Structure 1
Amino acid sequence: MNIDVNEAIGFGAAVLTTIAFLPQVYKTWKTKDVSSLSLPMLILFFIGIVLWLVYGFLKNSPSMIFANAITVISALLLLYFKMKYK
């Protein structure tokens, strides 16, 4: 497998930014406290991540697809928690 430097940097960024988001999802799931989460921010964030995912597919960028697919799921979970525990 021959990964170019750009994709290697992309995967590094993808791993770090995706991991950075997961503690918020975990904390919200455990505490069921969504009071500090803004619904408009979550909706805009979700739409933005979906667009980044589409862009990753259009650019055929595995790092963008990987990061944004996981983040879409995380954002969906936060949206679900916001609606369920409000």
Structure 2
Amino acid sequence: MNFIEIIGFVAAFLTTAAFLPQVYKTWKTKDVSALSLPMLLMFFTGVFIWLVYGFYKESPSMIMANAITLVSAFFLIYFKIKYTKNI
């Protein structure tokens, strides 16, 4: 593994880990009022494209980070749809 890929793994860990507390908090509180569904959908699409790009570039750090973040974003979208109160 080269130095650049190590930098990628450090960045991947930090950005992915920073996202996980939001998923956990949303799961525990079921409060989705501050989450924007259009933003989540755009974010999910962007992360999916980054994942495809990571496979294309054969970058393990990009693949790992974006695969985990894609699952996390999916859960936030799921929570947003499930826990939104219909008035």
How would you bin the TM-score normalised by the shorter chain? over 0.9
Q: How does 1:1-80 map to 2 (within 5 A)?
A: 3-80=1-78
> Aligned-pair distance for 1:44?
0.2
Sequence identity of aligned pairs in percent? Answer: 70
> 2:80 aligns to what?
82
Count of aligned pairs between the two proteins: 84
Q: Structure 2: give runs of 5+ residues left out of the alignment.
A: none
CA distance in 2, matches of 1:60, 1:40: 30
> Aligned-pair distance for 1:46?
0.1
Q: Structure 1: give runs of 5+ residues left out of the alignment.
A: none
With normalisation by structure 2, the TM-score equals 0.96
Q: Which runs of 4+ in 1 moved over 6 A?
A: none
With normalisation by structure 1, the TM-score equals 0.97
Code of the aligned partner of 2:33: S
> Aligned-pair distance for 1:26?
0.2
